Structure formats: structure tokens, C-alpha cells
């Protein structure tokens, strides 16, 4: 729509949501959900493609190209590292950005131990630079991609948001998430214009119901579900189960797995919260189902969903692993009006649909 302001003709652009790291696993599913649910917002994605596949000659990563096909809508895409202050500024200059959902980060726990500086620069410097550019352009609404890792070893279960954070964290990845939460708290204290919602994910699994986008880890997967899926599809020979002597239902580690589409929905709810009168400051909110499943339960569920056997072998515990964690879901329900609705069957079925349809991930799909 066009209007005149100070005698000059200005074109009012639609309010846009900027998604950093929107080509990745959780980011792309959130972009898909945003496009399916919001009519009035342009969706802009910034991603440096360090962990997203892009076909040769294509300008957009495969995940976003497929989402455009599925939704029939267009995504504005910028191949950019968020640490590029002037490049990021230009995007804010050219769009009417209303809020930011910030996924861009490195996320492999093991790799972070080997490359701490790369992780701290990507995750902390990246977040600081994004916040500086947002402030420069008067954008003060941020949804942050955090993790239940910030809780360290649970002192009680379920984990609620009042549980201490930052104690006994063993990986640079986990510390970087904790440090970012702390710095965002400080930013909210320094200027009450800020509205920041830090979503602490439990264990995201599953894939888009279309079966056309999903998790596409490079190399050997770090997480259980993609590992199981790659065993089922024949890319990997067997699953190693780390420890069967934990004080859990069957001795194997228990985690709160959550369907990535539920998770995506949680981000949309968070964005909606920004328009609630009086909402301000820093808020950390768990996104989990509240139910934990053991490794053996996950294997059984995946075997049922896929009709394939999952050969596994019990080996020793892995350093840094905890016995169990699962989320208290009270705050996410009260504050966001959100609850996970997808079941373990849904998670396994959708993972299998994606994995069996795309055995090599995006590359050969």
C-alpha cells in the first residue's frame, strides 16, 4: 500500500518475519508452518548454508525450494552469515521487519568440543551482532532457539524453567546456548523495549507431514532418531546404545522427544505473544511433550512404524550423557497456549516417510 509522508510517496511493505538459520532442520519446518499459517507476513530467511544442502546452480537451499513448492508461496532468501554486520543491516534496510526468529547456530555437541572457538564465534558473536542490527533498526522482538542443555544435569524432574541453568555444562555448544540466554537477559534489563522469548527445545525429531523435508545431518548423525532412521533404511549397519545401567525404566537413557512440527507451532505461538499488550522482557519457555521415552522404547516404536528391524548393540555409557530428562510443560501451556499434540507414533511414522523417501537426504531427493 502507498501513502504520503512528509510530502514523499512511501510504499508501505508488509511486516516481515526474519528467520535466521531458516534453511536448517527446525528452521525450515518453522518456515513451512509460518507460511501455512500467516497470511500477512513476508518470510525472509538468512542462512550461511554451512549445514544446508543447495543444488548446484540453485540460488535457494533445497529445503526452502521444496517448501515453496508445497505452500505455493515465495521465501525471500539471503545467503549470508549473521556476523556480517553490514550485510545484515542491508536486509533490515530493505524490508519492514517486525520480528526475528533466530535459529542460526552450530549445534553438534561433539564437534563443539573439538572446535570451541568456531562455536563461540558462530553462536555468541552471531547473536550479539544480530541484536545490534535489530536495535539499530528498532526491531526488539526475538524468538531464540535454545535448548534443555542449559539445565545441565537435572536436580529434579520434570525440568521446569526455574531449574538452575549453566551449572556443570560440559560442551561449548551447551555453554554457548546458556551464555546467549544470559546475554539476552542482560539486554532486556538494559532496555525495556526488548521482548525476547527463549524456547528451550527438548529433543526435536520427526519430519514435515508431506515427507518432503526433514532432518538431513551431514556425516554420521549425532542424535538417536536420525541414527535409527539411517539404520532402518540401510545406510548404517547397527545402532550403538550407550549404557544400559541408568536408573530408568529399562536402563537406557530417557529423553523427551518432540515432533518438529509441534516445535514449529510453538514458534508461531511465541510470535503471536509479542502482540499481547504489556508483554515485555526475557522469557525462557520449555518446548517438550512432558513424556520421556527410553532408547529401547524408541527402537521398538520405530520398528513398528517402519516395519524394519533395527539391529542394535549395547555399549558403555558416553561421557557427558545424563540418565533422563523430560520437560515440565506448564509454562508453555500457560504463556504460549501451546501443547505438543503429536504422538511417538507420529514422530516415527513421519521420520520414516522422510527417510525412506529420501534415503540420502536432500542431496538426491
Q: Give the interface with its own copies as residue ranges (CB under 8 A).
A: 113-117, 120-121, 124-125, 128-129, 131-132, 135, 166-167, 172, 175, 179, 182-183, 186-187, 189-190
The CB-of-134 to its own copies minimum distance in angstroms stands at 10
Cβ partners under 8 Å of residue 56, min gap 6: none
Residue 190 or 275: which CB sits closer to its own copies? 190
Calculate the alpha carbon distances from 1 to 10, 11, 12, 104 in Å: 9, 6, 5, 32
Whether cis (ω within 30° of 0) applies to the bond prior to 158 is yes
Give the 3-state secondary structure of residue 16: strand
Q: How far apart are CA 212 and CA 350, in angstroms?
A: 10
The CB-of-118 to its own copies minimum distance in angstroms stands at 9
**285 in Cβ contact with 198 (< 8 Å):** yes
Q: What would the grid cell of residue 38 be?
A: 500467516
Q: How far apart are CA 289 and CA 86, in angstroms?
A: 40
> H or E element: which one contains 5?
strand 2-5
**323 in Cβ contact with 254 (< 8 Å):** yes
Neighbour count for residue 116 (Cβ, 10 Å):
15
Which of 48, 84, 35 has its CA nearest to residue 271?
Answer: 35
DSSP states along 175-235: HHHHHHHHHHHHHHHH-TT-EEEEEEE-EEE---TTSSS----SSS-SSHHHHHHHHHTTS
The CB-of-53 to its own copies minimum distance in angstroms stands at 27
Residues in the chain: 365
State the catalytic residue, choosing from 173, 201, 246, 293. 173
Residue 130 or 229: which CB sits closer to its own copies? 130
Q: Rg of the chain's alpha carbons, rounded to an integer?
A: 20
Q: How far apart are CA 194 and CA 139, in angstroms?
A: 8
Does 173 qualify as catalytic in the annotation?
yes
Q: How far apart are CA 310 and CA 302, in angstroms?
A: 8
For 323: left if phi > 0, alpha if psi spans -120 to 50, otherwise beta; the answer is alpha
Residue 167 or 343: which CB sits closer to its own copies? 167
> In the chain, what are the helix, strand and coil shares in percent, each to the nearest 5?
40, 20, 40
Which of 252, 205, 211 has its CA nearest to residue 228?
Answer: 205
Q: Calculate the CA 358 to chain-centre distance.
A: 21
Q: Which residues are catalytic?
A: 173
Amino acid at each position: 500500500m502507498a501513502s504520503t509522508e512528509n510530502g514523499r510517496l512511501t510504499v508501505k511493505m508488509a511486516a516481515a518475519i526474519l528467520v535466521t538459520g531458516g534453511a536448517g532442520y527446525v528452521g525450515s519446518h518453522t518456515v513451512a508452518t509460518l507460511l501455512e499459517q500467516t497470511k500477512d507476513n513476508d518470510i525472509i530467511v538468512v542462512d550461511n548454508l554451512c549445514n544446508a544442502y543447495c543444488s548446484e546452480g540453485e540460488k535457494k537451499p533445497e529445503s526452502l525450494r521444496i517448501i515453496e513448492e508445497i505452500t505455493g508461496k515465495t521465501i525471500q532468501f539471503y545467503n549470508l552469515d549473521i556476523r556480517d554486520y553490514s550485510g545484515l543491516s542491508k536486509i533490515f534496510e530493505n524490508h519492514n521487519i517486525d520480528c526475528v526468529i533466530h535459529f542460526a547456530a552450530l549445534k553438534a555437541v561433539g564437534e563443539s568440543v573439538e572446535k570451541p572457538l568456531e562455536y563461540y564465534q558462530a553462536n555468541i558473536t552471531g547473536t550479539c551482532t544480530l541484536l545490534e542490527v535489530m536495535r539499530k533498526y528498532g526491531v526488539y522482538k526475538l524468538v531464540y532457539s535454545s535448548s534443555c542443555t542449559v539445565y545441565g544435569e537435572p536436580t529434579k524432574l520434570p525440568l521446569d524453567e526455574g531449574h538452575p541453568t549453566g551449572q556443570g555444562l560440559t560442551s561449548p555448544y551447551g555453554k554457548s546456548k546458556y551464555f546467549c540466554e544470559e546475554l539476552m537477559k542482560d539486554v532486556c534489563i538494559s532496555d525495556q523495549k526488548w521482548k525476547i522469548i527463549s524456547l528451550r527445545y527438548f529433543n526435536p525429531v520427526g519430519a514435515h507431514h508431506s515427507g518432503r523435508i526433514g532432518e538431513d545431518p551431514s556425516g554420521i548423525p549425532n542424535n538417536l532418531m536420525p541414527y535409527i532412521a539411517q539404520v532402518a533404511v540401510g545406510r548404517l549397519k547397527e545402532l550403538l546404545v550407550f549404557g544400559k545401567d541408568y536408573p530408568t525404566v529399562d536402563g537406557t537413557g530417557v529423553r523427551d522427544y518432540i515432533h518438529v512440527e509441534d516445535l514449529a507451532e510453538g514458534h508461531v505461538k511465541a510470535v503471536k505473544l509479542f502482540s499481547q499488550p504489556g508483554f515485555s522482557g526475557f522469557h525462557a519457555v520449555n518446548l517438550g511433550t512432558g513424556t520421556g521415552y527410553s532408547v529401547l522404547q524408541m527402537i521398538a516404536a520405530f520398528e513398528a512404524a517402519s516395519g524394519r528391524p533395527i539391529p542394535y548393540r549395547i555399549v558403555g555409557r558416553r561421557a557427558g550423557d545424563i540418565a533422563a530428562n523430560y520437560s515440565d510443560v506448564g509454562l508453555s501451556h500457560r504463556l504460549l497456549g501451546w501443547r505438543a499434540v503429536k504422538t511417538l507414533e507420529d514422530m516415527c511414522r513421519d521420520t520414516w516417510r522422510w527417510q525412506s523417501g529420501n534415503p540420502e537426504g536432500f542431496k538426491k531427493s
